[in-house]
Structure 1
Amino acid sequence: MTKAIQQSVTFPASARELFETYVDSRKHTASTGMPAKISRKVGGKFSGFGGMIGGRNLMLVPGQMIVQAWRSAAWKKTDANSILTITFTDTKSGGRVDLVHVNVPAHDHRGVTEGWKKYYWKPWRAYFRKQKKES
């Protein structure tokens, strides 16, 4: 079993805005720059980055938490799904995302760890900066 990936990141957006950016297909696509389709239902499927990642929603607490069975298209068929838990909380200056990602296969652990930073948090920073300027 690999070590859990744990990351906490703050943004100039409320917890609800952060949650909506993840679960709204249009906002997810706009914030990452890559095609995404996200169901808002427990048991519903999701895909991101043009199908490079996908899985299904295990639990949704609107505005607060997402739990997903998550996998990369690059993983071996024999690799089990990983479990992704993201919580969203308000802070004095916006909101915080706390991510815990477990059961990521050893052969892609570093890639997924860095991928959250490169493909989500960095583009989200630019996305929310732009949103703030436009409002």
Structure 2
Amino acid sequence: MTPVIETAAIFHNATPADLYELFMDSAKHSAATGAPAKISRKIGGKWSAFNGMICGKNLALLPKQMIVQTWRSTAWKAADPDSILVVHFEKSASGGATVHLAHIGVPQYDHKGVTQGWMNYYWKPWRKYLKGRKRSG
């Protein structure tokens, strides 16, 4: 079994609700990552991001707090089971918000790429997006 990917990031200029919306709102997700996303806001609904390169289904949603989804990449083998993604948003002690992520079941051959991907394709672009949004609005 592959190790769980665990990561956390603090966003000083956002609330837990802001971060939840960046993940769950198709337009905001697309704008923040710079790539097309289509995201259902319903439990059992499908989602895709990065023009369909990653996709899955919503398993549990607690608005402004937590998202649980199946998750898979088009680079994975057909025989690979979907992974499970758990994302939790909370208010930071220093102000702002923290996102905690646990990604379970990523195939060993893509583990490093997915681990780095969270930083490179989500947390870094989110920081840039939020910085621009707060200063302009």
CA distance in 2, matches of 1:20, 1:51: 19
SS at 1:46 equivalent: strand
CA distance in 1, matches of 2:20, 2:48: 16
- State the Cα deviation string for residues 11-64 of structure 1 (Å, max 9, x = none): 120000100111000000000000000000000000000000000000000000
TM-score (norm 1): 0.99
Provide the residue aligned with 1:53 in structure 2. Answer: 54
Post-superposition offset of 1:75: 0.3
SS at 1:51 equivalent: coil
Provide the residue aligned with 2:108 in structure 1. Answer: 106
1:19 and 2:20 matched: yes
Where does the alignment leave 5 or more consecutive residues of structure 1 unmatched? none
Give percent identity, aligned residues only: 53
CA distance in 2, matches of 1:93, 1:30: 24
CA distance in 2, matches of 1:126, 1:95: 15
TM-score (norm 2): 0.97
Give the partner amino acid of 2:19.
L
Number of equivalent positions: 135
CA distance in 2, matches of 1:55, 1:102: 14
Runs of 4+ in 1 over 4 A off after TM superposition: none
CA distance in 2, matches of 1:27, 1:82: 24
Post-superposition offset of 1:77: 0.2
Provide the residue aligned with 1:72 in structure 2. Answer: 73
Where does the alignment leave 5 or more consecutive residues of structure 2 unmatched? none
